[in-house]
Structure 1
């Protein structure tokens, strides 16, 4: 099925198609490609505080993005990044984090977890939760309000944000979660929805790319069949009923549309205030990619996400 993209998205896809697919690259090569695409000058009106949180023998680099002119204790957004568990970094996602900090007047906490395949499930979940737990218990040291938090994430970062909600509940983290924002999330690593067939060859994100990424993070297929790795199918209704109000932003052309929409429907049926919206003409990663994040649709989606976060955090 041919996808109808806006001119900016189509131009980006056309240019990208001239190169070798990511799944034919080494992880190191693939990471550098995305770093090159995402090169930008950090904004002067958003500061970055860097520190490290110990998890076992590894220190998880963590960045806090906050408005330069902010004062006092700031509301907190905990953001887990996408990139197929293989890619992504504070640089790759920097512009989006700056937008969210700027538009919400809140601090955005960004854990830079170890990538796959060097580390695999459940390491990325555990490292991110270690940072979340630290922030909840030590937020004041960093000028953060942490009695109430919002969670957000893109793609597999959305997958991880869902897991953070689940772990916060099962491990009795003393925190109120007021909002969950998911940009085109992964919600099922065990089975494929119909949109995997429709968008098998993209544009941009393809079935083979997702197979490569899931295989790097979850090489053991049995690990794909639990509530954390495939919440769409394996999370119980009772578990989902405890989720905070959730907004899911889908792409207009993306293998992940089906599972994102289906997860939104499950949350609604569990009684959670949930909205899911599709951004026509946009490919996967549209709110993050430097060449297309300036489109009117991408900006409108980020503005709406920031508004939901701002209202939930009562900034």
Structure 2
């Protein structure tokens, strides 16, 4: 197991650090604004509140951006395509935003994806999949798999190389990327060269130590995750194919993975357990725990710039394909 980091400074994995001052300042500011917990919000209110994270992300980098609609399983899917300068063909990243399958959209990851595309030299296709509770599981997964198939089939048109296809996402998007990688292996394609899983959800369970340690007061709470899962599942059981990537018995043959976790995140342990399980199956894994930071700080890099090295690490994982 590799060392973990705060920013770019390695520390032994067993060394626990307090919440980083930048992360604590963010928590204090959110508390001062009186933002209620997700379980106390309606879905429309939660979606509107999510827009506030855009002000925490810094200035957007310039890059060529195209809005398109592509065929989906139930309707046309909006996608946003980022194409950096330079000659192709480039790596191709299909990206799924976070938000517990309930909130989030193309805008919430627009600024991070501009940076990742510029730093990696990859074409990035960001997918606006259907959200719950209007569309329960497996609608989001179905959309993301269909978008990945489309991107692979249209790689040349996009100036990208289909043999260097990466699936990526943050939080619930990391869950969807892991699930798409598994489905692509089972279904004979598309061939995926790497998976980038940022703070991923990998199981429908709330029993890990990180869920206990970070149940409240650390941005994402246990109650919020229960709220997200309830909306995504609806009245269904959790016996849905590709719903819990961490429960898959055989992970051999999956593409190399970059797995990032944050210390003060309820999802920390399930993300790291999935990385360990991938390694045990012989899958090459690069893992990084960002000590002192909160869940999905990709959304708050303007307020918590200590986490900015994650952009270079994701770009490096993409370039390696």
Asked if Structure 1 and Structure 2 have the same fold, meaning a TM-score greater than 0.5 normalized by the shorter chain, the answer is yes
For residues 277-288 of structure 1, the aligned pairs below 5 Å read: 277-288=288-299
Matched position secondary structure for 1:13: helix
Distance in 2 (alpha carbons) for counterparts of 1:16 and 1:225:
36
Distance of aligned partners of 1:21 and 1:74 in 2 relative to their CA distance in 1, 3 Å threshold: same
The correspondence for 1:214, drawn from 218, 229, 233, is 229
Distance in 2 (alpha carbons) for counterparts of 1:191 and 1:253:
15
Distance of aligned partners of 1:3 and 1:174 in 2 relative to their CA distance in 1, 3 Å threshold: closer
Distance in 2 (alpha carbons) for counterparts of 1:191 and 1:89:
26
**Residue number in structure 1 paired with 2:249:** 236
Matched position secondary structure for 1:65: strand
Name structure 1 gaps, 5 residues minimum. none
**Number of residue equivalences:** 303
Higher relative contact order (CA 8 A, sep 6+): 2
Matched position secondary structure for 2:308: helix
Matched position secondary structure for 1:244: coil
Distance in 2 (alpha carbons) for counterparts of 1:132 and 1:3:
38
**Residue number in structure 2 paired with 1:158:** 174
For the pair 1:85 / 2:98, whether they are aligned, the reply is no
For the pair 1:51 / 2:68, whether they are aligned, the reply is yes
**Residue number in structure 1 paired with 2:207:** 192
**Residue number in structure 2 paired with 1:310:** 319
Distance in 1 (alpha carbons) for counterparts of 2:111 and 2:294:
18
Distance in 2 (alpha carbons) for counterparts of 1:105 and 1:149:
13
Distance in 2 (alpha carbons) for counterparts of 1:73 and 1:307:
17
For residues 109-124 of structure 1, the aligned pairs below 5 Å read: 109-124=125-140
Contact 1:248 1:275 in 2 (8 A): yes
Measured after TM superposition, the shift of residue 225 of structure 1 is: 3.6
- Cα displacement string for residues 178-226 of structure 1 (whole angstroms, at most 9, x for unaligned residues): 221111110001453221111111311100000000111012452x245
**Residue number in structure 1 paired with 2:283:** 272
**Residue number in structure 1 paired with 2:268:** 257
- Cα displacement string for residues 98-118 of structure 1 (whole angstroms, at most 9, x for unaligned residues): 111010011111110011111
Matched position secondary structure for 1:305: helix
Structure-2-length-normalised TM-score: 0.89
Distance in 2 (alpha carbons) for counterparts of 1:41 and 1:48:
18
Distance of aligned partners of 1:31 and 1:57 in 2 relative to their CA distance in 1, 3 Å threshold: same
For the pair 1:299 / 2:308, whether they are aligned, the reply is yes
Distance in 2 (alpha carbons) for counterparts of 1:289 and 1:44:
15
Name structure 2 gaps, 5 residues minimum. 1-15
Measured after TM superposition, the shift of residue 290 of structure 1 is: 4.7
**Residue number in structure 1 paired with 2:165:** 149
Structure-1-length-normalised TM-score: 0.90
Distance in 2 (alpha carbons) for counterparts of 1:41 and 1:16:
17
The alignment yields a C-alpha RMSD, in angstroms, of 1.9
Distance of aligned partners of 1:226 and 1:290 in 2 relative to their CA distance in 1, 3 Å threshold: same
Distance in 2 (alpha carbons) for counterparts of 1:262 and 1:227:
20
Measured after TM superposition, the shift of residue 32 of structure 1 is: 1.3
Distance in 1 (alpha carbons) for counterparts of 2:30 and 2:24:
10
Contact 1:252 1:279 in 2 (8 A): yes
Distance in 1 (alpha carbons) for counterparts of 2:244 and 2:190:
25
